[in-house]
């Protein structure tokens, strides 16, 4: 068994937290594993992980358990501490499982507990489900678009409508046809690769501006407002257990258009008011980012209605962001990774690892020593 076929710490944490597992304990390692499990359980309880305690049956030589990582803190240092503890305890479990074996659920061969694939039949563990499909929620019966109670005003709330009203586009928008045709390409890309994340990048085309005009442009130039729209076919949220917003729509396999706008890009109350008047379903997310800063954003759902999305975008650009109707735009559509990989990347970019915690602690210690 090569080292490449054994799970690392992050893979181990994903594996032990996916569901409750059962492992076999070799008789010659019984005493050692019993002591290691006891020590791990004591540390887990001390850190507040009572639900992650493992059980060792010395009669059947079976080890059972599931690790439930913490991710509840909204503060910067709280997230650092939780992720450090998650990683620390996962390493303890990894050390225990290095001495254990498990039964392959496919060919029933006895293999190392941390194997990523069966050395007998070649079947893979963990990756099979995550490779192509976005992971399902733990509460499958819960309506993912049902508004949730938000503690301390942090979280996601939905405003849902059965049908959109007709949205008229402002007259004289020179870039209208460009956006509409690219939305059609956006939908076509999803039909071609339905399991992929597809992103619609739109920005002011600086190459079409006069060089002197570009040189004198300031950050508050209204033309830059056209850069304010984030468009994708799936948008994840840590306040929805890292799952997609409008989850039922995403999991339907049908093409989707989601347009999101951040609070620093536009007056979200005006955007929400226009969406409500047009009966456009939207999600409103209030949160704290990984740098302990509060943020808000609105995510609007258009299903696969390219005309409604185009008309809405042109309205917001013209009437809320004051973008001139004749600005040159450039658009690029990307589809290079699966939704599952995008979900994993989103989670990694919005959480702190034990390594991040160590770096932060070192900087704090250095500042304390130097008197900063």
**How does residue 355 score in pLDDT terms, banded at 50, 70 and 90?**
low
* DSSP secondary structure, 59-109, as one string: TTTEEEE---------SHHHHHHHHHHHHHHHHHHHHHHTT-EEE-TTT--
pLDDT number for residue 39: 95
pLDDT digits (tens, 9 = 90+) for 43-85: 999 988 999 999 999 999 999 999 998 877 666 556 667 777 8
pLDDT number for residue 365: 60
**How does residue 213 score in pLDDT terms, banded at 50, 70 and 90?**
confident
Q: For residue 90, is pLDDT > 60?
A: yes
**How does residue 148 score in pLDDT terms, banded at 50, 70 and 90?**
very low
pLDDT digits (tens, 9 = 90+) for 218-257: 888 999 999 999 999 999 998 888 999 999 999 998 999 9
pLDDT number for residue 132: 45
pLDDT digits (tens, 9 = 90+) for 275-295: 999 999 999 999 887 767 889
Q: For residue 153, is pLDDT > 90?
A: no
CA torsion sign for 204, 207, 210, 214 is: positive
């Amino acid at each position: 068994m090569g080292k490449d076929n054994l799970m690392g710490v992050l893979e181990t944490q994903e594996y032990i937290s996916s569901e409750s597992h059962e492992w076999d304990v070799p008789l010659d390692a019984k005493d050692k594993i019993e002591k290691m499990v006891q020590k791990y359980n004591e540390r887990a309880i001390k850190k507040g992980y009572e639900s992650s305690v493992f059980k060792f049956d010395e009669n059947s030589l079976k080890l059972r358990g599931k690790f439930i990582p913490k991710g509840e803190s909204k503060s910067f240092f709280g997230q650092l501490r939780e992720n450090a503890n998650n990683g620390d305890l996962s390493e303890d479990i990894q050390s225990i499982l290095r001495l254990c074996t498990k039964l392959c659920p496919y060919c029933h061969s006895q293999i190392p507990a941390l194997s990523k694939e069966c050395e007998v039949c070649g079947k893979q563990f963990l990756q099979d489900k995550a490779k192509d499909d976005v992971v399902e929620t733990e509460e499958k019966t819960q309506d993912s678009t049902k508004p949730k109670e938000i503690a301390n005003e942090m979280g996601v709330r939905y405003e849902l409508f059965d049908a959109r009203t007709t949205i008229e586009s402002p007259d004289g928008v020179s870039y209208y046809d460009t956006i509409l045709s690219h939305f059609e390409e956006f939908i076509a890309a999803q039909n071609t690769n339905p399991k992929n994340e597809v992103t619609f990048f739109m920005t002011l085309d600086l190459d079409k501006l006069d060089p002197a005009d570009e040189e004198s442009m300031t950050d508050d130039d209204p033309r830059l407002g056209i850069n304010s729209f984030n468009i994708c076919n799936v948008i994840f949220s840590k306040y929805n257990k890292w799952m997609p917003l409008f989850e039922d729509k995403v999991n339907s396999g049908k093409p989707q258009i989601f347009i999101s706008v951040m609070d620093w890009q536009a007056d979200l109350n005006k955007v929400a008011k226009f969406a409500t008047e047009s009966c456009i379903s939207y999600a409103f997310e209030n949160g704290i980012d990984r740098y302990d800063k509060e943020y808000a954003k609105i995510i609007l759902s258009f299903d696969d209605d390219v005309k409604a999305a185009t008309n809405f975008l042109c309205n917001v650009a013209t009437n809320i962001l004051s973008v001139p109707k004749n600005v040159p735009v450039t658009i690029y559509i990307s589809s290079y990774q699966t939704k599952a990989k995008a979900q994993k990347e989103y989670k990694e970019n919005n959480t702190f690892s034990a390594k991040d915690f160590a770096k932060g602690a070192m900087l704090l210690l250095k500042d304390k020593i130097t008197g900063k």
